Amino acid sequence: MKEITKIKLTDALNWCDENDKSTLFTIQYMMDYAKVQHETVIRFLESESKKQKIKCTCGWAGVMYNLVVDSESGTANCPKCGQEYTTMDEK
Ligand SMILES: [Zn+2]
């Protein structure tokens, strides 16, 4: 999967998440937004389910794809402001 596709799929997923959209709507929206096949969205969502929801003090929040987390400290860098923050569990 191309990096730009991952970014678009992440954007679309975050938007649907924020706006409380149904799973069916989300999948269709992601297909349209990233211009990918249904199968690609499903594969992305399967990998996404292993990722974490995160929130930063600058106000940025979302689900990061390919989030690089230091397993010992449990921290990562915000894609918006670049500062380090603690990750949150999806549950
Ligand atoms: Zn930030």
Q: Which residues surround ligand 1, an ion (CB under 5 A)?
A: 56, 58, 60, 78, 80-81
Distance 80 CA to ligand 1 centre (A): 5
pTM of the model: 0.55
Distance 32 CA to ligand 1 centre (A): 28
CA atoms within 13 A on the CB side of 77: 5
Distance 86 CA to ligand 1 centre (A): 11
d(CA 54, CA 85): 9
Give 22's DSSP letter: -
pLDDT in tens, 17-74: 999 999 899 999 999 999 999 999 998 888 776 666 777 788 887 766 544 444 455 5
Distance 75 CA to ligand 1 centre (A): 12
